[in-house]
Amino acid sequence: MASIWRCAYNSDHATGVRFVNVFHVVVHDSTLVPGGSSAADVRDTLHSALTTKYRAMLPTNVTVQSLVVREELAPGSTAVPEEASQTIGLAGTLSTSGDMLPPAMCILASFYTNAAVRSGHGRMFIPGCGPSANLASTGLWDTSTALWTAVAAFLDELKTNHGAGLFGTDFTAHQVVYSRTRRAAGASAYWFDVSSYTRRAAPHWLRSRLTSP
């Protein structure tokens, strides 16, 4: 059985600005495990696999507060979705030496699947891009920096298939692009496996990160 989970890292910049990075995973439960995976199971698996690499993308003036995992139910369902939260409370690990970039400036990552439809694409705004030294003289992101490398490491891990349980076979979880619209319309395909990503070389300006929270 497959289930879809909405996952969100919640972080706070030193200025008080709140960063929220949302992604979806599909979980395939083993037929040998009665009851299937819980929200806590999914949370623990993702926290173990991703949080250290997520923190590696963020400067030390950003604190990762939590990872929240919530079950996505079919639109119109009256069932109660499962949810689990992991309190983290740890700072990013990138240097904050030198002049800092504003919180609104970020790396835009785009996600791709094998579905040639609009719903088969996704994106993430990587938060808190640290010192101005992360920019090259061209005004683009400097691809030789620890930031650029850390973003790739996190995104590679995100689309990896993560096994859980004693032998890693109780369930598996990996990143997908989820379409609530297609699910509401009754489409049989409403989630798509993420097969690749790109990091945009040009800085992106996200105006919602100019205000607190």
Q: Where are the beta strands (DSSP E) in the chain?
A: 2-13, 18-29, 62-72, 83-91, 105-112, 121-126, 162-164, 171-178, 191-193, 196-199, 204-205
Cα dist from 126 to 19, 21, 91, 147, 200, whole Å: 9, 7, 15, 10, 11
The pLDDT score that the predictor gives to residue 169 is: 72
CA distance 59 to 100: 10
The pLDDT score that the predictor gives to residue 167 is: 60
Q: Are 129 and 102 in contact (CB under 8 A)?
A: no
CA distance 121 to 165: 30
The pLDDT score that the predictor gives to residue 166 is: 62
Distance of CA 64 to the CA centre of its chain: 13
The pLDDT score that the predictor gives to residue 23 is: 98
Q: Where are the beta strands (DSSP E) in 81-170?
A: 83-91, 105-112, 121-126, 162-164
What is the pLDDT tens value at each position of the chain, 213 positions in all?
789 999 999 999 999 999 999 999 999 987 666 667 899 999 999 999 999 999 999 999 999 999 999 999 999 999 999 999 999 999 999 988 889 999 999 999 999 999 998 889 999 999 878 899 999 999 999 999 999 999 999 999 999 999 887 666 788 999 999 999 999 999 999 999 999 999 999 999 999 998 877
